[in-house]
Amino acid sequence: MKTDVWQGTLALMVLKTLQSLGAQHGYGIARRIEQTSADRLSINHGTLYPVLLKLEQEGAIESEWGVSDNNRKAKFYSITRAGRKRLAAEEREWRETTEIIDRFFAAGGAS
């Protein structure tokens, strides 16, 4: 069963994907996120492209036109220095949050 992406996490996934793979077009980013999630997440263009636009406006990514593998004109996105800094900060925050939640689960049902 595919699930929706949690609010606010798609931008993080986009930045991590671009950091890992280098410049990608939107379709490639969406497919990579789906593959990395073992196809548990479904990324649609109506969700992805507003996030790409917002990240670009914020200076976390940049874009340029190029030609895709199937020889079509496509916009390729890449992470900027500011995007790398943002990704590092958000990764730290997620790790800290995960550790806190893990403590609650580890505590079990003890009262």
Asked whether the predicted pLDDT for residue 107 surpasses 90, the reply is no
Our measurement of the distance from residue 71's CA atom to the centroid of its chain's CA atoms, rounded to an integer in Å, reads 25
- Residue 11: both structure tokens together: 């931008």
Domain boundaries, the chain: 9-106
**Banded pLDDT at 5 (limits 50, 70, 90):** confident
pLDDT of residue 45: 85
pLDDT of residue 109: 59
With residues binned 3-state (H G I as helix, E B as strand, rest as coil), the percentages for the chain, rounded to 5, are 55, 15, 25
pLDDT of residue 8: 75
Contact 96, 88 (CB under 8 A): no
pLDDT of residue 7: 63
Phi-psi bin for 44: left (phi > 0), alpha (psi -120 to 50), beta? beta
Asked whether the predicted pLDDT for residue 3 surpasses 90, the reply is no
User: What is the CATH number that goes with domain 9-106?
Assistant: 1.10.10.10
Asked whether the predicted pLDDT for residue 1 surpasses 80, the reply is no
